[in-house]
Amino acid sequence: MNTSSDSETKLFSVAEANATLPLVRLIVSDASALAADIAQREQRLDSLAEDREQSSKNDLYAEELEEMRGRLNTDKARLKGFVEELTDLGTRPKSLVEGIVDFPSMLDGSEVELCWQMGEDEVAHWHEQFEACTERKPIAAISAP
């Protein structure tokens, strides 16, 4: 893995990115499930909070809701830990719910992103830094005429 001197960004070859996939897969699998769960629980809590504001009765469930918020915050901290693990490896997590991770790389003198999504066997796509993951191209197309 190369390190660019100006910004200390780790640059991956395709082989190096693929070599990290076993660990990245494990982290992303856990992070993706947790991120989806957090999003769903946040939506439910927001809905419950809205209902509570409209109700003028005494709130019998305030303590339970606070416990739910506490557990949610604990899980958000766990999710942040997953992001830090991925970042420490030199990757750039893009969407934990979708399981998308970028690997900084160089192509023809320009920094690009090798792109992997959960469920894929290997890193086989890339995109420009300014492009979204939805605009990724097959790595095989780089060497095609």
Determine the pLDDT at residue 9.
87
Determine the pLDDT at residue 53.
63
CB distance 129 to 113 below 8 Å? yes
CB distance 111 to 128 below 8 Å? no
Question: Which residue do the tokens 């970028």 mark?
Answer: 102
What pTM was computed for the model? 0.82
CA dihedral for 81, 82, 83, 89, sign (positive or negative)? positive
Determine the pLDDT at residue 2.
55
What is the C-alpha separation between 122 and 129, in angstroms, rounded? 20
Determine the pLDDT at residue 140.
83
Residue ranges of the chain whose pLDDT lies below 70: 1-7, 51-59, 141-145
Determine the pLDDT at residue 112.
96
What phi, psi does 129 have (nearest 5°)?
A: -60, -35
What is the C-alpha separation between 134 and 35, in angstroms, rounded? 20
Q: CA nearest 13: which of 23, 3, 27, 25?
A: 3
